Amino acid sequence: MEVKNVYRLLGIGIVSGGVLSIFFKWIEQATGHKVYTLLLNVDYIPVFRNYTYPEPVEVIFHLIVSIVLVFILQFIIEKKNIKQIMGFCALANLLIGVLIYPTTVLSTRTPPIDSMAAIVYWLIGHIVYGLLLGILLTRIRWKRTAVHREL
């Protein structure tokens, strides 16, 4: 992978992860449903649960996960030659949201497992995140194919 693409993927992970953070923080402040708290929660990870981290550190943890996810999705997209990148990313992140939401039972700070509003906000946020990733990863493909057409 070219260094330029590595930087692009890093940027996509930071931007999309930042947008998701801002979206969930806004939802939490507007509604009281602790979806932002859930996004940043690391209480269920054995090594991390022994410490309390300031919000900026928790955001950095989230951005690292976002960056790793972008690299994984880009690898799958290239390996499987996926054409519908936006749909693939939206569906993948919807599934991730579904799989991660149950971790809410492992913390007293996060929304109740049966909070339908929190679940809906959580899943909408992950779909939006996936669509944004899809748009940004599609732009990389367009730029790469445009370069190949020019050669």
Q: Each residue of 61-107: pLDDT tens digit? A: 999 999 999 999 999 999 999 999 999 999 999 999 999 999 999 88
Per the listing, tokens 């690391």 go with 42
pLDDT of residue 121: 98
Q: Amino acid identity of 95?
A: L
Q: Is residue 149 part of a domain?
A: no
Neighbour count for residue 150 (Cβ, 10 Å): 6
Q: Is residue 150 part of a domain?
A: no
Residue 102 lies in domain: 3-144
* Three-class SS state of 143: helix
Kindly tell me the burial class for residue 99, based on how many C-beta atoms sit within 10 Å of its own C-beta (0-12, 13-18, 19 or more).
exposed
Q: How many domains does the chain have?
A: 1
What tens digit of pLDDT does each residue of 1-38 get?
A: 789 899 999 999 999 999 999 999 999 999 999 999 99
- 113 three-class SS: coil
151 found inside a domain = no
Q: pTM score, two decimals?
A: 0.91
Q: Under 8 Å CB-to-CB from 1, ≥6 apart: which residues?
A: none
